[in-house]
Amino acid sequence: MSLPAAFHDIAKRVNNWGRWGSEDEIGTLNLITDEVVRRAAAEVRTGLRVPLALPLRHDGVQTGLIPGRVNPLHAMTQINQEIFGPGAVACSDDAVTMGLQAATHWDALTHVSHSGLLYNGRPAATITPHTGAEFSGIDKARHIVSRGVLLDVARALGTDRLDGAHAVTPEDLDAAEELAGTRVRAGDIVLVRTGQVQVYLAGKREAYGHPSPGLSIRTPEWFHARDVAAVANDTLTFEIFPPEIEDLWLPVHALHLVEMGMLQGQNWNLEKLSTACGEVGRYSFLLSAMPEPFVGATGTPVAPVALL
């Protein structure tokens, strides 16, 4: 089995290898210039802050399908411990074990490979158990703050939540962009709302995962044309799942991460942001979504915040 021509045709059109030099490790994050950030800051008008992470808890979005992708196991290692003697100030401490892709997260560019290669043509074998990803680990992506634009596809299509079989198309993105009233431009971070996270919020953890609406294989070209810096949405699988083309699994992952060098985020809770944007009548904002700098990691939990 190898990837079909349908994939390779798109890959050729969106490929960014070498665009920022052969040494580059951060891909489209290069598009977030100081100028972009300055203009993004100008989006803050109400001072409203909307956090976009799901709470980190043992009954998170993972249901055991992927071996190492475990929900956070939080444990208190000290509780009101008078470590300096009786009557002294007492300390509480905790520790956690979790999969780095288990909750609201960023995929690093190294999260997937295809044909033995990673972004910018680096060998997949540069990821090792000893040091993780030698190139393009999530610790290299240190400055993820830019203008965010909510493309509220569900609302644009007049529904609260897209159907599990709905592949989000470029036309859907166009419609949501029109609703947003702003044109997506170079360096923007796009948040695509399907409404699917409501299934998890309603306690239906198994059903949240799949079938799931998500991005169509046709959307990477849309993002490429606009020179988007990163894309996140409110689903577990990010792209439509099961996939549109039989036996072509995770094509959007491969196009975004490997070909374009564009970070993507999953399990973002965009419900309150949708409400807020609807109320203020604007769908753009300053978005801060800094990765935890795990050295050599292929993903990270993230606690994004939108400032409207």
- Site for a second copy, residues 254 to 293, rule: CB under 8 A: 254, 286, 288, 290-293
Write down the least CB distance from residue 178 to a second copy, Å.
27
**Looking at 148, 214, 265, 304, which residue binds a second copy (CB under 8 A)?**
304
Q: Give 161's DSSP letter.
A: S
Contact between 159 and a second copy per CB under 8 A: no
Q: Which residues inside 64-83 make contact with a second copy, applying CB under 8 A?
A: 64, 66-70, 72-81
From CA 173, how far away is CA 167, in angstroms rounded? 11
Contact between 85 and a second copy per CB under 8 A: yes
Write down the least CB distance from residue 211 to a second copy, Å.
16
Kind and range of the H or E run holding 276: helix 271-280
From CA 176, how far away is CA 156, in angstroms rounded? 5
- Token pair in block for residue 182: 């702003």
Contact between 6 and a second copy per CB under 8 A: no
31 to 37, 96, 128, 142: CA distances (angstroms):
10, 34, 29, 14
Q: Which residues inside 139-158 make contact with a second copy, applying CB under 8 A?
A: 139, 142-143, 145
β-pairing verdict for 284-288 and 230-233: unpaired
Kind and range of the H or E run holding 73: strand 73-81
Q: Which residues inside 86-105 make contact with a second copy, applying CB under 8 A?
A: 86-101
Kind and range of the H or E run holding 156: helix 153-156
Binding mask 7-36 for a second copy (x = CB under 8 A): --------------------------xxxx
Name the residue nearer to a second copy (CB basis): 179 or 306. Answer: 306
Hey, CA dihedral for 293, 141, 257, 306, is it positive or negative?
positive
Window contacting a second copy (CB under 8 A); options: 156-164, 173-181, 229-237, 250-258: 250-258
